[in-house]
Structure 1
Amino acid sequence: MPLPTLPFPPFRKRARTEAEAPFVRREPVSGNRVRFKIAMVAFCSIYAIIGGRLVWWGAKPSDGGGYHGFAQVVADRPDLVDRNGEVLATDIKTASLFAEPRRILDPDEATELLTGVLPDLNARQLRTKLASGAGFVWLKRELTPKQQQQIFELGIPGIGFRTEKRRFYPGGNTASHIIGAVNVDNQGIAGMEKYIDDQGLRDIQNLGLAGKSELEPVKLSIDLRVQHIMRDELAAAMVRYKALAAGGVILDVETGEVLAMASLPDYNPNEPAEALKKENLNRMSAGVFEMGSTFKSFTTAMALDSGKVKITDVFNTNPFYVQGFTIKEFHSKHRPLSVPEIFQYSSNVGSAHEADIVGVEGHQAFLTRLGILSRMKTELPEVATPTQPKVWKKINSMTIAYGHGVATTPLQTAVGAVALMNGGYLIPPTFLPRTKEEADKLKKQVVSKRVSDEMRYLYDLNGERGSGRSAQVSGYRVGGKTGTAEKVVNGRYSGNKKFNAYLASFPIDAPRYVVLVVIDEPQVEEGKSNAQAAANAAPTAGAIIRRSAALLKVKPVFKEQGNSLLVSY
């Protein structure tokens, strides 16, 4: 078939004449190639930027909520270990559930299926998230392997899993108030977990420098074995004495290290929300209490250290009036008492006289020097500030002498006792390992060695013949001082609600450790006549020492039982 005739002749390029040629600019072939390459690079760059922005916009939630386009990678944390290398906290891998709502085909069906596996999810909120059209939303953090498998088998488009790190505490409640806890993003929120974040871990995590391989384990001063014993005996005491709460601490008198500390009720750091319950307060460092007659330890040491009182001095113990108040005995001996007897019989009147001799200013200064009245400095973030009268008067000094009028933390009380047992040196407490040489650089002399020796004698006397007899442990010579304080209820002292304590040291001839046990609102044990500290706090301290002394490397020493003939076969 012939081609159709064109209505006009095909265009032909006219040849340039010789005269026109000089005015035409001729470029080399290489110049065209350079321009082509530049154009291609610009084209690709523009489209790369556009593509990147599209990806970012697609991942950003349309509702402006708190979800980020790409989930933040949870940073690694160092393991926490006890002084013997036993793991207290470590990271494990876990799966978290997320959704890409723009890929969800049927939000209602997806909501129904997911709540069937995860009934704790709020169906209405879940449906709102799945129908939002956003690029990424978290649905549930830290799934169990079973939950992950069940959701995987549902086969819902737009639903996926992200591997994250979860903090795991193999000991559960054992040392919860010391170790602390982390939040869902693996950031420390309490205890030593928060401390190591505040020391720079959070900064290196934010810089992306906290890889697991680069992080050395953080060793704590506690002994997990002794910590278990402490918590076990306190839990038994709460049941035995039907108490509201209980607590205890063991301190090394040479280094200030905390070997064990527990406060019950406690919580499982694997479930950190439990830490928010009021009853789970760390009473040892974050609670303040009137410590009762344990304060007579400081009153007696103050009087002896002042030089105005000798250990051989004798005081009248008859009731007397001061500024409209009566100072009287709880159990009067109806006779004058020497300084050792004032301590052994826990004389309120005798202690008040000792404080009066020193004076109000001297009394306040001494307790400040021991750290009893100031906020304690240690690694734990949970530390309460002691309370004291705004203006100290004579009556305040006299009642504080026997434990009424100043509220401090039990841990501070134990730290003050360390100074009375170790030759007179106040050492800041620590939850990290510390050598004696390191402690020597930190310690401050707060009482003389003579006074420390005399206080050890008084602790031994009370342990052998006084209220501390129920804390004695064969072979370990436990000395100490009981304290039974009436709790303040609605601004008045309650006669039937007590806060009991036993402040002990062992072996008392050459002290290595100070032990403090507190029992909050104990009831009278069946077969006993009262609920004083000698009936509950002291025997609990003795039980802890009996089980832990060997682990603390204290060798028992037994008295010779006459002349016996040993025969070996």
Structure 2
Amino acid sequence: MSFLSRIMVLKSQAHFSAGVYNRFGGPSPAGLAIEGSRKKKSGQAKSRVGLLILGFMGVYVVIGGRLVEYAMKDQEVVSSILPPDRLMASRPDILDRNGEVLATDIRTVSLFAEPNKIVDADEAVEKLATVLPELDVRDTYKKLSVKTSHFAWLRRQLTPKQQSQILALGIPGIGFRPEKRRFYPGGSTAAHILGYVNIDNRGVAGMEKYIDDQGLADLASVGMTSDQPLEPVRLSIDLRVQNIVRDAVVNAVNNFQSKGAGAAVIDVHTGEVLAMASAPDFDPNDPQEGAKEGWLNRMTNGTFEMGSTFKTFSLAMALDTGKVKMTDTFDASKSIYIGGFTIHDFHGQRRWLTVPEIFQYSSNIGTARVIDIVGIDAQKDYLTKFGLLTKMQTELPEVKMPSQPRVWKKINSITISFGHGVSTTALQTGVAAAALVNGGKLIEPTFLPRSREQADEIATQVIKKTTSDEIRYLLDFNGYKGSGRVARVPGFAVGSKTGTADKVVNGRYSATLNFNSFIAAFPINDPKYAVITFCDEPKTGEKQYGGTISAGTAGPIAREIISRAAPILGIEPKFGEGGSALLVSY
């Protein structure tokens, strides 16, 4: 390198370091200034990043706090926010055994207001009243006048027409919220079986409550339901037969001027309830209309003394123990006096009676003689096995516990043998009757489909098959020659037993008020179905069959049901001797 080149390089280096170091090798004042500037800028950058991070954190804290606040407040306070899916959560459709819809969901809307956004509460109320005439004006004005309120329900479940008319009013601060409403196409047809739901579409009674109790209500409470359709719930009910049964009991209330009536049709081999109705009833679409009398399901949630239908069970236990035979005779010539009470017969024959005659003439005296041989302990055990002293197990929530004497004395045993002293539900009486004719198997009733194989797995043998055959003979005998003739339907062999019980009024048996029951099975030679009917406090009845007693009231209900339902259920009528049809050519 030349000398000149060396000078230029040194000059360059000297120029580069001139602002940083002095001639003694230390930093110059200018260098210190540059270094301080760099540190200052770096510190400012860090501060800005820190402030930015703090700002974002503050925003997220506010959002989180508001979410917590909303979560802890009532739904009404925050419901102006878009509704979550669970507000539109579906209930499963309910179908009958043939797939007919018994209950389903329909989309609807509910009207709400945000009072803090209402400009003129008076004007808003006046406009709403033009579309909703039944609107409580004073209460609505009170809601809309609270300017600190962010939400208030005004009307739940509007019709599409009402929604359209309210939208046309153009009221600020008024909105609609999508919801679902339960709809029952059959109205009152199966009211006590289906039950109903509340304004929030939650099951309150019947199978609707049963469905919620199986887990639907728990899922809904934690928001795990959605608006997607659920698998339908199929019932054992046959809507065709249900319509017939409901018609029959409503007609009975009207025609016999009775306090109430009820009936059920049961498959004797599966325990399936094909139809059940209680009147008065209600419309599940508007359950409040029937709140006074219609809500009570008299078939399962009312207990009654079932009268002479209990003689069927008394004779069954007597025959099953082997202590009594069909050919035995018993003295029914005189009344029985015991414990200050007189036991007498309504259709007294005043002679010795065979077991079939005791059943045919519904002899209280003869039944008392029979049950005396059976004994109190055995009687109580058999009635327990028949399910008549314990609470019935089935899907319906509305089931009442039967009542019985605290201490069974001889007088209790005698009166219970012919249906006084024990109160039980009509449905479980029908279930016990089914056990007497199906070969002796007690099968708990169900409102859900059940196969015969499934029924056999849970069935309990309560009497011998031979005893069941003898009871079928007695029912058939009574259907031809006794009080059961009222329900004899041409072509269909119906075996039956009447029961007329005096009602207890103010602790005493009334001489004018009856509770009438009737049990039947058909075709009695090979029973498929059992029918239980009752008529509570009838004021009139079919005179040719005894007026207000069972043969004139509860019996005709069974006759109407069997005559209309048997062909639908596939029971072929048989005429002529031996059941062979007599064909005549013209």
Fold match (TM-score > 0.5) = yes
1:397 aligns with 2:406: no
User: Following TM superposition, by how much is the alpha carbon of 1:42 offset from its aligned partner in structure 2, in angstroms?
Assistant: 3.4
Q: For residue 17 of structure 1, what is the amino acid of its counterpart?
A: P
Q: Which runs of 5+ in 1 are unaligned?
A: 1-14
> 1:326-345 residue pairs with structure 2 within 5 A?
326-345=342-361
- Indicate conservation of the 8 Å contact 1:60/1:134, yes or no: no
- Indicate conservation of the 8 Å contact 1:274/1:280, yes or no: no
2:278 maps to: 263
In 2 relative to 1, CA 45–273 (structure 1 residues): closer, same or farther, beyond 3 Å?
farther
Q: For residue 333 of structure 1, what is the amino acid of its counterpart?
A: Q
1:10 maps to: none
**Equivalent residue for 1:125, pick from 139, 143, 148:** 139
CA distance in 2, matches of 1:33, 1:78: 61
In 2 relative to 1, CA 562–420 (structure 1 residues): closer, same or farther, beyond 3 Å?
closer
In 2 relative to 1, CA 485–39 (structure 1 residues): closer, same or farther, beyond 3 Å?
same
**Equivalent residue for 1:95, pick from 109, 118, 122:** 109
Q: For residue 180 of structure 1, what is the amino acid of its counterpart?
A: G
1:140 aligns with 2:140: no
**Equivalent residue for 2:311, pick from 272, 296, 302:** 296
1:5 maps to: none
**Equivalent residue for 1:106, pick from 120, 143, 148:** 120
Q: For residue 553 of structure 1, what is the amino acid of its counterpart?
A: G
Larger Rg: 2
TM-score by length of 1: 0.91
Look up the SS of the partner of 2:430 in the other structure. helix
Look up the SS of the partner of 2:342 in the other structure. strand
Moved more, 398-407 or 150-159: 150-159
Look up the SS of the partner of 1:549 in the other structure. helix
1:451 maps to: 467
Look up the SS of the partner of 2:534 in the other structure. strand
**Equivalent residue for 1:540, pick from 557, 564, 577:** 557
Moved more, 366-375 or 69-78: 69-78
User: Following TM superposition, by how much is the alpha carbon of 1:27 offset from its aligned partner in structure 2, in angstroms?
Assistant: 5.9
**Equivalent residue for 2:52, pick from 11, 23, 40:** 40
CA distance in 2, matches of 1:321, 1:469: 32
> 1:275-286 residue pairs with structure 2 within 5 A?
275-286=290-301
Deviations 1:211-253 (A, max 9, x none): 3535100000000000001111222222222222110000001
User: Following TM superposition, by how much is the alpha carbon of 1:26 offset from its aligned partner in structure 2, in angstroms?
Assistant: 4.5
**Equivalent residue for 1:410, pick from 389, 403, 426:** 426
Q: Which runs of 5+ in 2 are unaligned?
A: 1-26
**Equivalent residue for 1:324, pick from 316, 340, 365:** 340
User: Following TM superposition, by how much is the alpha carbon of 1:69 offset from its aligned partner in structure 2, in angstroms?
Assistant: 1.4
2:24 maps to: none
Look up the SS of the partner of 1:558 in the other structure. coil
1:367 maps to: 383
CA distance in 1, matches of 2:510, 2:68: 65
- Indicate conservation of the 8 Å contact 2:541/2:549, yes or no: no
CA distance in 1, matches of 2:339, 2:314: 21
- Indicate conservation of the 8 Å contact 1:257/1:432, yes or no: yes
1:494 aligns with 2:510: yes
Q: For residue 473 of structure 2, what is the amino acid of its counterpart?
A: Y
1:438 maps to: 454
CA distance in 2, matches of 1:417, 1:492: 28
Q: For residue 508 of structure 2, what is the amino acid of its counterpart?
A: R
1:216 maps to: 231
Look up the SS of the partner of 1:135 in the other structure. coil
Which structure is higher in helix share?
Answer: 2
Look up the SS of the partner of 2:166 in the other structure. helix
Look up the SS of the partner of 1:408 in the other structure. strand
1:6 maps to: none
- Indicate conservation of the 8 Å contact 1:78/1:212, yes or no: no
CA distance in 1, matches of 2:42, 2:433: 91
CA distance in 1, matches of 2:451, 2:555: 30
**Equivalent residue for 1:182, pick from 197, 202, 206:** 197
Deviations 1:435-457 (A, max 9, x none): 01110110000111011000000
1:115 aligns with 2:160: no
Deviations 1:152-181 (A, max 9, x none): 222111001111100000000000000000
1:69 maps to: 78
CA distance in 2, matches of 1:512, 1:109: 67
CA distance in 1, matches of 2:258, 2:562: 21
- Indicate conservation of the 8 Å contact 1:56/1:69, yes or no: no
User: Following TM superposition, by how much is the alpha carbon of 1:524 offset from its aligned partner in structure 2, in angstroms?
Assistant: 2.8
**Equivalent residue for 2:188, pick from 158, 170, 173:** 173
- Indicate conservation of the 8 Å contact 2:282/2:294, yes or no: no
CA distance in 2, matches of 1:56, 1:398: 69
In 2 relative to 1, CA 68–303 (structure 1 residues): closer, same or farther, beyond 3 Å?
farther
Deviations 1:255-298 (A, max 9, x none): 00000000011000001223532354110000000100001111
1:354 aligns with 2:370: yes
- Indicate conservation of the 8 Å contact 1:243/1:521, yes or no: yes
Deviations 1:369-412 (A, max 9, x none): 11101111100000011111111111001001001111100001
In 2 relative to 1, CA 359–527 (structure 1 residues): closer, same or farther, beyond 3 Å?
closer
Deviations 1:132-158 (A, max 9, x none): 121111111011222222222221110
In 2 relative to 1, CA 565–558 (structure 1 residues): closer, same or farther, beyond 3 Å?
closer
CA distance in 1, matches of 2:110, 2:214: 29
Q: For residue 106 of structure 1, what is the amino acid of its counterpart?
A: D
Deviations 1:312-360 (A, max 9, x none): 1110112121222211111210101011100111000111111111111
- Indicate conservation of the 8 Å contact 1:290/1:405, yes or no: yes
- Indicate conservation of the 8 Å contact 1:77/1:210, yes or no: no
Look up the SS of the partner of 2:435 in the other structure. helix
Moved more, 297-306 or 321-330: 321-330
CA distance in 1, matches of 2:439, 2:580: 34
Look up the SS of the partner of 2:370 in the other structure. helix
In 2 relative to 1, CA 224–408 (structure 1 residues): closer, same or farther, beyond 3 Å?
same
User: Following TM superposition, by how much is the alpha carbon of 1:53 offset from its aligned partner in structure 2, in angstroms?
Assistant: 5.4
User: Following TM superposition, by how much is the alpha carbon of 1:16 offset from its aligned partner in structure 2, in angstroms?
Assistant: 7.7
Look up the SS of the partner of 1:517 in the other structure. strand
In 2 relative to 1, CA 369–109 (structure 1 residues): closer, same or farther, beyond 3 Å?
same
- Indicate conservation of the 8 Å contact 2:533/2:558, yes or no: yes
TM-score by length of 2: 0.89
CA distance in 1, matches of 2:580, 2:57: 99
1:250 aligns with 2:265: yes
User: Following TM superposition, by how much is the alpha carbon of 1:102 offset from its aligned partner in structure 2, in angstroms?
Assistant: 0.5
- Indicate conservation of the 8 Å contact 2:574/2:580, yes or no: no
- Indicate conservation of the 8 Å contact 1:75/1:210, yes or no: yes
In 2 relative to 1, CA 145–185 (structure 1 residues): closer, same or farther, beyond 3 Å?
same
CA distance in 2, matches of 1:384, 1:522: 23
2:240 maps to: 225
1:556 aligns with 2:570: no
In 2 relative to 1, CA 16–466 (structure 1 residues): closer, same or farther, beyond 3 Å?
farther
1:20 maps to: 32
CA distance in 1, matches of 2:282, 2:89: 25
CA distance in 2, matches of 1:67, 1:484: 55
- Indicate conservation of the 8 Å contact 1:419/1:425, yes or no: yes
CA distance in 1, matches of 2:238, 2:49: 70
Q: For residue 132 of structure 2, what is the amino acid of its counterpart?
A: L
What CA RMSD, in Å, does the superposition of the two structures yield over aligned residues? 2.6
**Equivalent residue for 1:272, pick from 284, 287, 292:** 287
User: Following TM superposition, by how much is the alpha carbon of 1:553 offset from its aligned partner in structure 2, in angstroms?
Assistant: 1.6
Look up the SS of the partner of 1:239 in the other structure. helix
1:193 maps to: 208
User: Following TM superposition, by how much is the alpha carbon of 1:41 offset from its aligned partner in structure 2, in angstroms?
Assistant: 4.4
- Indicate conservation of the 8 Å contact 1:386/1:406, yes or no: yes
User: Following TM superposition, by how much is the alpha carbon of 1:65 offset from its aligned partner in structure 2, in angstroms?
Assistant: 8.0
User: Following TM superposition, by how much is the alpha carbon of 1:567 offset from its aligned partner in structure 2, in angstroms?
Assistant: 5.5
Deviations 1:409-432 (A, max 9, x none): 000100111110110000010000
